[in-house]
Amino acid sequence: MATRRGRLTPIALLVIPPIYDFKAYDFWLKFTGLLKIASTLQDSGWQIYFFDFLDRSHPWMASRSKPGTYGRGKYYAVEVPKPTIFKTIARRFKRYGLPKQIFEQFLNSIPKPDYVFIAGGMTYWYLGVKEVVEIVRSHYPNTNVVVGGVYPTLMPNHARKLEVDHVVVGNDMSLFDKLGIKSTAAIPLWRLYPKLTYGVINFTYGCPLNCTYCAARKLHEQFIIRDWDIVADELLYFGKLGITDIAIYDDALLFKAKEILPKLLDLLHRYSLKFRFHTPNGLHVRLIDRDTANLMRVTGFTTIFLSYETHNLQRQQLLGNKVTEEELISAIEVLRSVGYTGCDLIVYLLAGLVDQPAPEVEEGIHFLHKLGVSIMLSEFSPIPGTPEGEKACQIIDMDEPLCHNNLYFTTLVLGDHSLQQLKSLKNHYNRIIRLTCTSKT
């Protein structure tokens, strides 16, 4: 603990681990849960230190990172040996993020923390969490190590096998209660980043639907709207930083669009703010009407990701029955009518569900191209505790997180040759869409 004016001040170190995977790209990835914990700890008088292995604006990255579109970009990466389970995958396995020695230098420059909080992302990224735990333990054998986030929430028993003291499942605040820390609806502590190339925000948490492949209900039991004053303060902070691009992390924004978007538009006008909003989690197609499309356009929604998942009617109904072919066509028509192009409209299509044949995915790709939109092929990752995850038990060991890797699992289901053919077709059609958009500008 540090001493401040005669009293002991607890010290916390918060860490975002590197990623171990076949591919990773900074697609507006920020761990807002950990940043909110940082804010809560700071409000409770803790001294905060922070290290993000995935920070592309870190000084060490100055000559190693090229900016991409809308604030996104490539991570620094090095090839590493593949885990045995991946030996049949004809792709290089990499570690994405700052080198270990940068982190170790950082640890040598700060006082010993009382608690280390580590964010867990995808279940199959747990090797990064394991790496951080091992480094922290080598420097601070007796420090309390806490892991929270998606990975420990979905696989708490597996996370407990790491050398950690506490595993935080979901929004369980019992540890913080024991530490005398009050849970608040805190704004993420964005100032921990000396530089941001984009912001991320939630207007809502959770989802009222219960699709068979999705973890939203496991991560947030209820669908709630965030306090508008807190959301407004966060947006105003991004405005002060001069940030242009903001990714919306909501799973179900449009369920409250008529309530949220007019407030957003008013805020932008009142403070002369101008953002480009992006929707990487996908919007619910069924809820897009002309009024909503107009509101999205005037408030600055720029890249519109739409959730369609499959062109197979029976499978669509089994997955959750959240959209039909007719509803997708209607949504695209109204979005085009307010000025969006095929380059702005990106539709998610799932590939690699347990009993999904490659021709079904191919049919979906052809269908979406006829609609004149861009296509995002989502290689399926089975999630523990979901119906689709239960089906995956037929072919993999769901207790091993690496088996959830989307490329690994999709290759198991479709075969490498079929998967590459589907990707090539999708890429071919997307190039045509980009050329069409370019010719019109």
What pLDDT score does 221 carry?
87
Q: pLDDT at residue 439 above 70?
A: no
Is 170 in the same domain as 201?
A: no
Assess if residue 423 is contained within a domain: yes
Q: Are residues 253 and 114 in the same domain?
A: no
Q: Which of 148, 178, 208 is the last residue of a domain?
A: 178
What total of structural domains would you count in the chain? 2
Q: Please indicate, yes or no, whether residues 209 and 79 belong to a single structural domain of this protein.
A: no
Taking only the tens place, the pLDDT of each residue in 197-208 is 999 999 999 999
113 and 203 inside one domain: no
Burial of 307 (0-12, 13-18, 19+ CB in 10 A): buried
Question: How much is the pLDDT for 1?
Answer: 60
By residue range, what is the domain housing residue 386? Answer: 197-439
Domain membership flag for residue 191:
no
pLDDT, mean of residues 342-364 = 97
- Is 187 inside a domain boundary? no
Is 201 found in the same domain as 169? no
Is residue 19 included in any domain, yes or no? yes
Is 392's pLDDT higher than 90?
yes
- Domain CATH for 305: 3.20.20.70
Residue 173 is predicted with a pLDDT of 87
CATH of the domain at 159: 3.40.50.280
225 and 161 share one domain: no
Q: Is the pTM of this model over 0.75?
A: yes
